[in-house]
Amino acid sequence: MINDIKPLRELVHVNLGTRSYDIIIGPDLLREGVERINALLPRKRVCIVTEERVAALHLEKLQSALSAGGITSEALILPPGESTKSWPHLERTVEWLIEQKVERDDLVLAFGGGVIGDLAGFAAAILRRGVGFVQMPTSLLAQVDSAVGGKTGINSTRGKNLIGAFHQPRLVVADMDLLGTLPPRDFLAGYGEVVKYGLLGDADFFAWLELYASSMATGDVAARARAVQRSCEMKAEIVARDEQERGDRALLNLGHTFGHALEAATGYSDRLLHGEGVAIGCTLAFQLSARLGLCSQEAPSRVAAHLRAMGMKATLADIAGELPDADGLIALMGQDKKVKDGQVTFILARDIGDAFVANGVDMAQVSALLAEELAARPN
Ligand SMILES: NC(=O)c1ccc[n+]([C@@H]2O[C@H](COP(=O)([O-])OP(=O)(O)OC[C@H]3O[C@@H](n4cnc5c(N)ncnc54)[C@H](O)[C@@H]3O)[C@@H](O)[C@H]2O)c1
Ligand SMILES: O=C(O)C(=O)C[C@@H](O)[C@H](O)[C@H](O)COP(=O)(O)O
Ligand SMILES: [Zn+2]
């Protein structure tokens, strides 16, 4: 049984030439994390960017460990939530880092979920035309996805992550112990991105998740560590071959063409978390693939069944409140970063574990699918 296995410390390398770095994964990583940060620092001082919920639970311990390792630290504590990924908080963060006289050889420490990682990473990318940063992800979503690969940025009211830069971290420290305090809804939202990896490129991993993901949700640290490791391996491999999404890095966007439109439609609010939008978006991507005759009818049913078994949102019917009509959702997709020549790009699938990047998709089929799914929502 997976839950009898003590999780070990694992290491995944992101191979990007001079911008290469390690992801360390495991329980009880504070000491090793601090040692590795120390090795990267010419002067023994870091500026931590974090947010209120994470700070209340974990900041003191982090600062004590840094201090025990001979590193002084200052912390900026921002409000939690998606709305922090915005111009005002970016400005506040950059100005604070300037006030702290952060130099190019210093490190900014992003200590939080995907919101803090994306915002602090972007602040580091633009400050003095680029200072170094380290990701210490505290949510499942950030450990399996956002802390890795160097996509940093903030949202525009017109679309998700529309302002940003590619800026790779120098190190990622994914300490499993931090996940112990994550609320169940946020854990499951992060799980949406884990499922995505199985669906896009590893059918065996998806089958493993069908067996073990429920024990992950109830606290099985070994199962969590394995899922984080496999997700990071897959992301590292894709990012190493296409760092700036000129080609098949877009596979990591499975579920996101729909998901980002749904997040915009729900105002980047608690109505729909990013990972929840991705999970629903994955079901829609498989439904569209089946409708286009690319995969079997069973594939989307299997995706939705697994999400439901995990207690997750699986279809548009699971989003409470008003949604735009099909044309409205398609209009929101028009701001997607994968749009080429005015045409929306989708990530579709031939089967579970076999996704591909699809251009020139018949938008009448997309519209018909969305109209059917919207009509199936309870009034
Ligand atoms: N850059 C990328 O490649 C990439 C990839 C995926 C997602 N993202 C972005 O990541 C964001 C979503 O990330 P997220 O789900 O981590 O959201 P988040 O940062 O808002 O964290 C989710 C919630 O969990 C809380 N939290 C975080 N760690 C905690 C802990 N250890 N204990 C208790 N509470 C904790 C936060 O306060 C928040 O309420 C979105 O903005 C999304 O666009 C970026
Ligand atoms: O790293 C990537 O590449 C991804 O697409 C990962 C996604 O999970 C993530 O949500 C990313 O921020 C979306 O990228 P975007 O370019 O569509 O904003
Ligand atoms: Zn995502």
pLDDT in tens, 28-44: 999 999 999 999 999 99
Q: How confident is the model at residue 157 (pLDDT cuts 50, 70, 90)?
A: confident
Number of domains composing the chain: 2
Cα 256 from Cα 269, distance rounded (Å): 16
Position 249 scores a pLDDT of: 98
Q: How far apart are CA 238 and CA 14, in angstroms?
A: 10
DSSP 8-state symbol, 80: P
Q: Are residues 156 and 237 in the same domain?
A: no
Pocket test for ligand 2, best of 14, 253, 276 (most atoms within 8 A of CB): 253
Confidence of residue 5 (pLDDT cuts 50, 70, 90): low
Residues 201-256 have pLDDT tens digits of 999 999 999 999 999 999 999 999 999 999 999 999 999 999 999 999 999 999 99
Read off the amino acid at residue 208. Answer: W
201 and 327 share one domain: yes
Are residues 164 and 144 part of one domain?
yes
Q: How far apart, in whole angstroms, are the C-alpha atoms of residue 277 and residue 17?
A: 34
Query: What is the predicted ipTM?
Result: 0.99
Shared-domain flag, residues 149 and 291: no
Residues 222 and 350 in one domain: yes
Domain stop point among 162, 181, 200: 181
Query: Are residues 190 and 74 located together in one domain of the fold?
Result: no
More confident residue, 48 or 335: 48
Contacts of 364 (CB under 8 A, 6+ apart): none
Residues 61 and 162 occupy one common structural domain: yes
CATH number, domain containing residue 29: 3.40.50.1970
**Ligand 1 mean position, distance from CA 311 (Å):** 19
| Domain harbouring 260, CATH code | 1.20.1090.10
Considering only CA atoms, which residue is closest to atom 14 of ligand 2?
A: 253
The ligand 2 atom nearest the CA atom of 256: 17
Among 165, 181, 197, identify where a domain stops: 181
89 is in an annotated binding site: no
> 64: which residues sit within 8 A by CB, 6+ positions away?
none
Do 130 and 221 reside in the same domain of the chain?
no
Determine whether the shortest distance from the Cβ of 113 to ligand 1 is under 6 A.
yes
The answer on 145 and 240 residing in a single domain is no
Q: Are residues 230 and 93 in the same domain?
A: no
128 is known as an active-site residue: no
Ligand whose nearest atom lies closest to the CA of 146 = 1
Q: Give, using CA atoms, the residue closest to atom 18 of ligand 2.
A: 161
CB-based contact 50:111 (threshold 8 Å): yes
Q: Is 129 a catalytic residue?
A: yes
Per-residue pLDDT tens for 86-142?
999 999 999 999 999 999 999 999 999 999 999 999 999 999 999 999 999 999 999
Please state, for a pLDDT cut of 70, what percent of the chain lies above it. Answer: 98
- Residue that finishes a domain, picked among 181, 204, 229: 181
Distance 265 CA to ligand 3 centre (A): 16
Extended strands (E) in 185-252: none
Same domain (yes/no): 118, 219: no
Instruction: Note whether 261 and 289 are same-domain residues.
Output: yes
Q: State the residue range of the domain holding 118.
A: 2-181
